[in-house]
């Protein structure tokens, strides 16, 4: 069993490109090493950043930055000023790290198809970049949050985070890959208990809903097409044969929004280990289903329609 294609957006796009590049250079171990090296460099670049956890959060073992004076100030400033008001201070420190972490020529030659989505600001539509088109700027565009960074210009068009239009885009995995199993690694919680009451929590939930909507629409479309194909007894239809699986963690619901800006190495290692735990749990529970049946019930998305 091997990975034929990866579709990623934002940090997922960076992971996809780094993984594929590392895989081409050294197989599965090369992919793991490349990901480890990339995120360690991200963490090291943040060592001198004043955007860190406060003493109280460290003592209590919280990974949030909610009590960091700089984070609170930055959060308020982002609602009053745009990155264009900040000028040079809006530059993205990831640019140099990405430029030296991936080999674009090797990425073109990798056997893994990589699909990266970014949102075209002018048209409002998602744009899909494939291996031969992927550059550090494309990856930055896919993760460009408009309240933090200026839009990334590619071929004369400005781009923002791909999460607004495809998070991630599933269609190319169906149309351009022969594999019939798609494993969705879900980071943004679809459901969150309770009603957000603070301005920060309300904005975070709005972003989660906005980022999840394109994915849910695509999954619902797959469910509808598969239902139609089955009802017509169509054989070999692309959508009908696709098997969907999902790996998710409750921890992502428990973490606060400010933790997204936490680049401490112990925190990144904790996220890595949690991801591995969830993947191992999925394999133990559903490994035998791969190649046979879906383990994510798409029919739930059709309820009430």
pLDDT, mean of residues 51-70: 83
What pLDDT sits at residue 237? 59
Residue 106's SS3 state is helix
Contact of 291 with 180, CB cutoff 8 Å = yes
% of the chain exceeding 90 in pLDDT: 49
- Say whether pLDDT at 16 is over 80: yes
pLDDT digits (tens, 9 = 90+) for 203-236: 888 888 888 787 777 777 777 766 666 555 554 4
Task: Please give the Cα distance from 12 to 185 (Å, whole number).
Answer: 9
What pLDDT sits at residue 96? 93
Number of residues written out for the chain: 305
pLDDT, mean of residues 16-39: 96
Higher pLDDT, 20 or 189: 20
pLDDT, mean of residues 48-69: 82
What pLDDT sits at residue 65? 86
Q: Look up residue 51 and give its two tokens.
A: 């955007």
Position 301 confidence tier, pLDDT thresholds 50, 70, 90: low
What pLDDT sits at residue 118? 96
Residue with tokens 């069993």: 1
Handedness of CA 213, 296, 128, 146 (dihedral sign): positive
pLDDT, mean of residues 68-96: 79
Residue 151's SS3 state is coil
- Say whether pLDDT at 299 is over 80: no
Contact of 216 with 301, CB cutoff 8 Å = yes
What pLDDT sits at residue 231? 56
Q: Which residues does residue 15 pair with via DSSP β-bridges, in sequence order? A: none
Higher pLDDT, 84 or 183: 183
Task: Please give the Cα distance from 147 to 75 (Å, whole number).
Answer: 10
What pLDDT sits at residue 230? 59
- Say whether pLDDT at 151 is over 90: yes
Average model confidence (pLDDT) for the chain?
A: 87
What pLDDT sits at residue 239? 60
- Say whether pLDDT at 23 is over 90: yes
Instruction: Return the half-sphere exposure (C-beta side, CA atoms, 13 A cut-off) of residue 197.
Output: 1
| Residue 178, φ and ψ in degrees, nearest 5 | -90, -15
The Cα-based distances of 216 to 22, 263, 299 in angstroms read: 30, 29, 12
Task: Please give the Cα distance from 72 to 88 (Å, whole number).
Answer: 21
What pLDDT sits at residue 209? 83
Position 12 confidence tier, pLDDT thresholds 50, 70, 90: very high
pLDDT, mean of residues 74-92: 76
Query: Among 147-151, 194-198, 275-279, 291-295, where is mean pLDDT lowest?
Result: 194-198
CB-based contacts of 11, cutoff 8 Å, min separation 6: 143, 187
Task: Please give the Cα distance from 272 to 20 (Å, whole number).
Answer: 18
pLDDT, mean of residues 14-27: 95
pLDDT, mean of residues 154-174: 91
- Say whether pLDDT at 83 is over 90: no
- Say whether pLDDT at 38 is over 70: yes
Q: Is the pTM of this model over 0.85?
A: yes
Higher pLDDT, 188 or 40: 40
Contact of 116 with 134, CB cutoff 8 Å = yes
């Amino acid at each position: 069993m091997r990975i034929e294609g990866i579709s990623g957006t934002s940090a997922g796009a960076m992971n996809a490109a780094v993984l594929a590049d590392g895989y081409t250079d050294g197989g599965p171990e090369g992919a793991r090493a490349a990901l480890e090296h990339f995120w360690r460099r991200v963490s090291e670049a943040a060592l001198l950043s004043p955007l860190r956890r406060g003493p109280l959060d460290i003592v209590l073992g919280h990974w949030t930055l909610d009590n960091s004076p700089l984070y609170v100030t930055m959060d308020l400033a982002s609602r009053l000023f745009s990155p264009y008001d900040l000028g040079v201070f809006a530059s993205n420190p990831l640019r140099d790290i990405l430029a030296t972490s991936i080999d674009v020529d090797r990425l073109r030659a990798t056997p893994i198809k990589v699909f990266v989505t970014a949102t075209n600001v002018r048209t409002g539509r998602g744009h899909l970049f494939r291996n031969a088109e992927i550059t550090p700027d494309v990856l930055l565009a896919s993760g460009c949050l408009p309240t933090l960074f200026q839009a990334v210009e590619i071929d004369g068009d400005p781009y923002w985070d791909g999460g607004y239009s495809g998070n991630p885009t599933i269609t190319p995995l169906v149309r351009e890959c022969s594999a019939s199993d798609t494993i969705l690694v879900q980071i943004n919680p679809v459901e969150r208990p309770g009603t957000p009451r603070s301005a920060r929590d309300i904005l975070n939930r709005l972003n989660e809903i906005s980022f999840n909507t394109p994915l849910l629409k695509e999954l619902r479309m797959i469910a509808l097409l598969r239902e139609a194909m089955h009802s017509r007894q169509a054989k070999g239809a692309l959508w009908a044969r696709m098997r969907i699986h999902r790996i998710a963690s409750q921890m992502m619901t428990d973490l606060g929004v400010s933790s997204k800006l936490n680049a401490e190495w112990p925190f990144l290692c904790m996220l890595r280990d949690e991801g591995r735990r969830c993947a191992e749990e999925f394999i133990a529970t559903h490994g035998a289903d791969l190649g046979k049946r879906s383990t994510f019930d798409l029919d739930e998305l059709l309820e009430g329609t």
